[in-house]
Amino acid sequence: MCGIVGIVSVGENLVNQEIYDALTILQHRGQDAAGIVTCENGRFYQRKDNGLVKDVFRTRHMRDLHGTMGIGHVRYPTAGSSSSAEAQPFYVNSPYGIAMGHNGNLTNAETLAQELYRQDLRHLNTNSDSEVLLNIFAHELMQQKKLMINHEDVFNAIRHVHKRVRGGYAAVGLISSLGVIAFRDPFGLRPAVVGKRETAFGTDYMVASESVALDGLGFSLIKDLAPGEAVVITESGEIFYQQCAENPQYSPCIFEFVYFARPDSMIDDISVYKSRLRMGEKLADKILREWSDHDIDVVMPIPDTSRTSALELATRLGKPYREGFIKNRYIGRTFIMPGQQLRKKSVRQKLNPIDLEFEGKNVLLVDDSIVRGTTSGQIVQMAREAGARKVYFASAAPPVKYPYVYGIDMPSPTELVASGRTVEEVAEVIGADRLIYQDLDDLIDAVSAGSEAVNQFDTSCFSGVYATGDITPEYLASLDTERNDDAQATRQAAGQETVGIHNQSGN
């Protein structure tokens, strides 16, 4: 789940540092690679590479990122490889000079790549679906056949992009002669917000994946982009919006609320924090309903993401909330790390139990979700080793049983611990004495209670129902073959992940 940002500043302030700061705030959405492209006097300046934001950008790189408008990206790969050549933003020189960063995953990338080659006569140098998205946009903008473009031309191009592209996408772009643009797929699967900041020179504008990035930079939220909607912010600070999809349907990804987004973000006008509190409440109600004679002594979160729901769950159960596991603050999120070996190793390094909180107690461990079972399996064992009498486990999300196709890298049902297993079987695999999952209806209620406008979500990884309605068994099978852990590891070992030519500034 990548993070995107774009800023246009109307004063003389360079935007390099602010984009860097915004990317640092959005780091939880992608830890593999980061990039910034800025523009000054029609010329682009770029730095991107694998690594965390703090490691990719050195002072010398920052000095070279000139300009008062620019875009940035943090990457968590869901297509192509982890090669630095696929770090974003991507760049094409024609037409006008365009750079683009994308959060999401295109489900017809292969067909589009063929079309780009055969019909549009454009070259792709990687297997990244984001490079496909940029080239489709570039081709459609070219079709406007203008020497100087304006916002209307961009909206026309995006209208055609929506017709050709399938899947989840929130994209931010930089067009050298124009400004910053952003657009969101017709289902609103991936989030995107717009904000503003008043200055002595006029209004600065910013687009970002999450509102928390606006807060951190002193911008205030104007609105979420609606599904299918696009925004153009010109270099001189004019802003234009337009609905570019024919049949937009609000169906944001519910997993953003469960895990991906920061709790202090507002997404589609819903407080992520409050939605997680409600998840905790509903889960507590289920425990009280179905296990009224429970013998839970203490409730513990598995840091970080489950803290909010675990706290509310404990309150509702009337049981003490204790921090039994301490998280090493220097280790990132394990779920979005590449490769199962690294993920497994990281859980141990990241979380350490405080034994005295466990000794002789029946503990209820709460996590936001159980996906591969990497975290839960190890944590249950650690709780036992720390002296717990009984170890119960609760998940604030329902069982994750189906592959996700719109921008989370869980392509293979066989890698999902709940796929093809009953709740009791999953409890056995992770070693818990009892396992309680949130019901899907309760999860939907917990999130939708925060909004009048949104009452439908993409719940595909829980329900197998895909919001776009066009996901075939053949596509799911090919995604599995292409991206399961073994396939990725084999490609990496064979050195097939590296692409030699890419638009990279010097080190």
From Mg ion, ligand PRP, ligand GLN, none, which one binds at residue 334 (CB under 5 to 8 Å depending on kind)?
ligand PRP
From ligand PRP, Mg ion, ligand GLN, none, which one binds at residue 376 (CB under 5 to 8 Å depending on kind)?
ligand PRP
Are 1 and 336 a contacting pair, CB within 8 Å? yes
The full 3-state SS of 69-91, as one line of letters, equals EEEEEEECCCCCCCCHHHCCCEE
Query: Which residues within the stretch 270-329 sit at the binding site for Mg ion (CB under 5 A)?
Result: 305
39 labelled catalytic: no
Are 406 and 167 a contacting pair, CB within 8 Å? yes
Are 308 and 263 a contacting pair, CB within 8 Å? yes
Give the single-character DSSP code of 95.
S
Is 367 annotated as belonging to a binding site?
yes
Give how many residues touch ligand GLN by CB under 6 A.
16
| 79: contact with ligand GLN by CB under 6 A | yes
Planar angle of CA 287, 282, 3, nearest 5 degrees:
125
| 412: contact with ligand PRP by CB under 6 A | no
| 104: contact with ligand GLN by CB under 6 A | yes
In sequence order, which residues have a C-beta less than 8 Å from that of residue 416 and are 6 or more positions away?
371, 372, 400, 401, 402, 403, 410
Name which of 2 and 178 has its Cβ closer to ligand GLN: 2
Q: Work out how close the CB of 400 gets to ligand PRP at its nearest, in angstroms, rounded to a whole number.
A: 8
Q: Work out how close the CB of 497 gets to ligand PRP at its nearest, in angstroms, rounded to a whole number.
A: 22
Name which of 68 and 375 has its Cβ closer to Mg ion: 375
In sequence order, which residues have a C-beta less than 8 Å from that of residue 217 and are 6 or more positions away?
7, 18, 21, 22, 197, 206
Is 305 annotated as belonging to a binding site?
yes
Written as six digits, the tokens of 101 are: 């960063």
| 488: contact with ligand GLN by CB under 6 A | no
| 371: contact with ligand PRP by CB under 6 A | yes
Binding mask 130-159 for ligand GLN (x = CB under 6 A): x-----------------------------
Name which of 438 and 484 has its Cβ closer to ligand GLN: 484
| 370: contact with ligand PRP by CB under 6 A | yes
Element (DSSP H or E) covering residue 287: helix 272-290
Binding mask 378-407 for ligand GLN (x = CB under 6 A): -----------------------------x
- Among the listed residues 8, 181, 175, 183, the one whose alpha carbon sits nearest the alpha carbon of residue 92: 175
| 78: contact with ligand GLN by CB under 6 A | yes
d(CA 252, CA 3): 16
- Interface pick for ligand PRP out of 373, 398, 403, 407 (rule CB under 6 A): 373
- Among the listed residues 306, 202, 296, the one whose alpha carbon sits nearest the alpha carbon of residue 259: 306
User: For strand 202-208 and strand 239-243, is the pairing parallel, antiparallel, or unpaired?
Assistant: unpaired
| 76: contact with ligand GLN by CB under 6 A | yes
The full 3-state SS of 216-243, as one line of letters, equals HCCCEEEEECCCCEEEEEECCCCEEEEE
Is 55 annotated as belonging to a binding site?
no
List, as residue ranges, the binding site for Mg(2+).
305, 367-368
Positions in the binding site for ligand GLN (CB under 6 A): 1-2, 75-80, 102-105, 128-130, 407
Positions in the binding site for Mg ion (CB under 5 A): 305
Hey, which residues are catalytic here?
2
